[in-house]
Amino acid sequence: MTREAHTELCQSEVGVAILGMGTVGTEVVRLLNEHGDSFTHRIGAPVVIRGIAVRDTSRDRGVDPSLITDDAQALVDRPDVDVVVEVIGGIEGSRQLLLSALKQGKSVVTANKALVAAHAAELAAAADESQVDLYFEAAVAGAIPIIGPLKRSMAGDEIQRVMGIVNGTTNFILSAMDETGADYAETLAEAGRLGYAEADPTADVEGFDAASKAAILSTLAFHSRVTANDVYREGITKITQQDIKSARKLNCTIKLLAVCERIISEDGSQSVSARVYPALVPLTHQLATVNGAFNAVFLEAESAGQIMFYGPGAGGAPTASAVLGDLVAASRNVVHGGRAPGDNTYANLPIAEFGDVQTRYLVNMHVVDEKGTLSKVAEVFANHDISIATVHQDDVVENEDGTNIDPDGKFARLAVVTHRASEANLAACVESLGNSESVVKVTSVLRMEGQDN
């Protein structure tokens, strides 16, 4: 069924199916009910909730029980539904429901970043075939409007780089480690007590959540299809207080960053790099001021220059705000005709090999404290075509777990900051350092972003 044929069934109002009534879905329903008159004026017709699909129909949801159903497919199939709002999560079940809705000529609003990152091409194709809308502003950075600006406001510019803090849980943990001196395990437990971390925090702390968002941002920024599997990913579970202290000495802080970059090689060919990892950010950079559970996305464009979007990156009400913004836009198109710009991957740039990506690095290591050690370490870096910018040395007292590894005072802690180098060269250098008689242990390697070359 086409959009035109479907719209004829309900031109005086917009029928909405809501899939899921968890934290975000509950807020969406509440705000629709509380501000119904306002939404009517913004859209040009009333929004009517046709039904709400949930897994457990026995719970009191605080809404008309006749709206509650556990048959999501039947709700999607109703002829009086114009827009389907999906806030269930998961991938395969949601994918089937949304594909069904799109193929029936119904617009879709989703907050499901994992689904969009994995199946955006399939969903976009279905939306194009039926000439309906696919909106997913809430899939990245909660209430922060970033998808719309990338699709519309920045459509006349050439984006070079997108760098963002797009996961509130990890930003809370790293901010707390910096502020309190507590270790990773302590701050993770505190994040759980405060409701910032899930019972199983793996998706957040291992970077999977941020990788899905990086894939979405890269696809839109560089007009090239990028999936979560294309994103290099490291989490924050290995970050220690020694890393935090090393960052401070360099006037930096540590943030889990999603970095999406257009790479131009010497021959002029272009590729896309999308990566997620903990990185040192200078205290003078705007992203360094983003603390707690807040998110921010920093854009660098050819004409516009540098732009930053900042705000709450998660939570029921902030995410519901983004969902409702999409719902208003989709509903306007149902009432007045037209549709939003869809995905455009005309550039079709290849994904860069991670080994070819270049940045700066902080390499922390324990070394033998004797004459000639520094020159031997420097020689290893030089052998791998890596230029050293600065070196800082401290006495070694103990490991992160408090065990004394240097009772006789024979070791030193060395922090080496490099100039820009490739990931491949850096990895080979770290391996060689590990085999050097002068190096006891390479304790950590951190990238450095937002800095001059």
The catalytic site residues sit at 213
User: Which conformational region is residue 75 in: left (phi greater than 0), alpha (psi within -120 to 50 degrees), or beta?
Assistant: alpha
Does residue 151 have a known ligand-binding role?
no
The residues facing 439 across adjacent strands are: 367
Number of Cβ within a 10 Å radius of residue 390: 11
CB under 8 Å, gap of 24 or more: what pairs does 146-154 form? 146/217, 146/297, 146/309, 147/216, 147/220, 148/325, 149/309, 150/217, 150/220, 150/221, 151/220, 151/340, 151/341, 152/341, 154/299, 154/301, 154/304
Does residue 26 have a known ligand-binding role?
yes
DSSP state of 452: -
Does residue 198 have a known ligand-binding role?
yes
Q: Which residues of 68-90 are buried (b: 16+ CB within 10 A; e: fewer)?
A: bbeebeebbeeeebbbbbbbbbe
Residue 61, exposed/middle/buried by CB under 10 A (0-12, 13-18, 19+)? middle
Does residue 23 have a known ligand-binding role?
yes
Query: Hey, what are 231's tokens?
Result: 């994103």
Does residue 113 have a known ligand-binding role?
yes
Q: Which of 64, 292, 268 is nearest to 176 (CA)?
A: 292
Q: Provide the residue type at 424 as one letter.
A: A
Query: Hey, what are 397's tokens?
Result: 């007292």
Query: Hey, what are 56's tokens?
Result: 């457990």
Sign of the CA dihedral 378, 383, 388, 393? negative
Does residue 396 have a known ligand-binding role?
no
Contact 394, 409 (CB under 8 A): no
Render 359-389 in DSSP notation, one character per residue: EEEEEEEEEE-STTHHHHHHHHHHHTT--EE
The whole-angstrom separation of Cα 183 and Cα 162 is: 30
Does residue 21 have a known ligand-binding role?
yes
The whole-angstrom separation of Cα 76 and Cα 102 is: 10
Instruction: Specify the DSSP element, H or E, that contains 120.
Output: helix 113-130
Q: Which of 336, 335, 352 is nearest to 232 (CA)?
A: 352
Contact 163, 273 (CB under 8 A): no
Q: Which of 167, 165, 166, 169 is nearest to 190 (CA)?
A: 169
Does residue 227 have a known ligand-binding role?
no
Does residue 376 have a known ligand-binding role?
no
Does residue 372 have a known ligand-binding role?
no
Q: List, as residue ranges, the binding site.
A: 19-26, 113, 198
Q: List, as residue ranges, the binding site for NADPH.
A: 113
Q: List, as residue ranges, the binding site for L-homoserine.
A: 198
